[in-house]
Amino acid sequence: MPATYYHVVFTLPHELNPVILNNKKVMLDLLFAAASKTLLSFAKNELGGKVGFLAILHTWDQKLNAHFHLHCLVAGGVVADETTRWIACTKDYLFNQRALSLVFRGKFMALMSDARKSEKFKYEDQRYRALKNTLFSKNWVVSVRDPVKHAEHVLEYLARYTHRVAIANSRIKAIKDNTVTFTAKNRKEHRIEQVTVSAVEFIRRFLLHSLPKGFVRIRHYGFLANRNRKSNVAIIKCLLGCTPSVQQSVIGLEQMMFGLTGVDITTCPCCKKGKMRLVLEIFIRRARGPTHFIRCAN
């Protein structure tokens, strides 16, 4: 949509890491729920309508340690009066970070207590009380970053955060003598550093970021929720005075991925020369979709 978008990051305190690593599905679902409830409530109370956003789960930091947080891309406005009016954010301001962090902490802690009472995860009483006291004493980090001004940059921006887990291959610089060396950003000193760990430690850190089977790490909320997203976006574009283009340029998946990443996904992963082509498609009963058989054309 031709609107400003805001990048908001919700981060869980590291004191929760042991609980999350032992109860990933429950705790990560709570992270999504607390963050989404926080944004939806702020939009309703401060802007007077329903906001739209998507949330992408990240579980790592630059050194591959456990660091659980959500990247949210939030549309800079809300629909009000049952999608008959668009109310835009003003002066590049979304919501107050401090207020967001307090509400986010409260909602997460309430949801976690409810989950424990319903025995979705177990935690000994005395230890849980100590954990709660520690968590309530901390300032939880919610960051509202610079807005993304141009709608055409949104897809490119999201591509950095979606289908990559923990580390890109380009960051791995050496594998030798049972060690792995990779690069990491030192954000405090604004420089790139090299980190060398044992191969076993590298594998341990990488596996921290495996998710439960079927877990959805990209979710949509508000007027961008899956059920009514297409119709809602069409209505909002009309409210913003957008006229549909007479002819739209349609590109294939291969061209889109090459433009975003510079990688030709049709290149054979074995010979690195030939092109992959679809040779057969089989539909299996009770399967979610077709099974594709692809071979190298070289």
pLDDT digits 0-9 by tens, 153-162? 776 777 776 7
- Sign of dihedral through CA atoms 270, 273, 276, 277? negative
User: What is d(CA 151, CA 247) in angstroms, rounded to the nearest whole number?
Assistant: 19
pLDDT tens by residue, 133-152: 999 999 999 999 888 877 66
Q: For residue 269, which amino acid is it? A: P
pLDDT tens sequence for the chain (298 residues):
778 899 999 999 999 999 999 999 999 999 999 999 999 999 999 999 999 999 999 999 999 999 999 999 999 999 998 778 999 888 888 999 999 999 999 999 999 999 999 999 889 989 999 999 999 999 999 999 888 877 667 767 777 767 778 888 889 999 999 999 999 998 888 899 999 999 999 999 999 999 999 999 999 999 999 888 888 888 888 888 876 554 444 557 777 777 777 788 888 888 888 888 877 777 666 555 556 666 666 6
- Sign of dihedral through CA atoms 116, 119, 124, 125? positive
User: What is d(CA 44, CA 84) in angstroms, rounded to the nearest whole number?
Assistant: 15
* Crossing angle of the two packed helices 24-42 and 97-117, in degrees rounded to 10: 140
Q: What backbone torsions phi and psi does residue 201 show, to the nearest 5 degrees? A: -65, -40
> Which residue from 244, 260, 233, 235 is spatially nearest to 53, judged by alpha carbons?
233
Q: For the chain, how far is it from start to end, CA to CA, in angstroms?
A: 42
Say if residue 55 is exposed, middle or buried (CB neighbours under 10 Å; 0-12, 13-18, 19+): buried
Residue 53 near residue 221, CB atoms below 8 Å: yes
The two structure tokens encoding residue 91: 């002066």
Residue in the block written with tokens 């980090």: 141
Overall pTM > 0.75: yes
The two structure tokens encoding residue 274: 């030939």
Q: What backbone torsions phi and psi does residue 224 show, to the nearest 5 degrees? A: -100, 10
> Which residue from 27, 16, 101, 111 is spatially nearest to 66, judged by alpha carbons?
16
List, in sequence order, the alpha helices (H) in the chain: 17-22, 24-42, 97-117, 125-137, 154-159, 199-207, 229-239, 253-261
**Helix/strand/coil for 173:** strand
User: What is d(CA 67, CA 141) in angstroms, rounded to the nearest whole number?
Assistant: 12
Residues in a beta bridge with 6? 74
Q: What DSSP character marks residue 273?
A: S
Residues in a beta bridge with 88? 77
59: enclosing H helix or E strand: strand 50-60
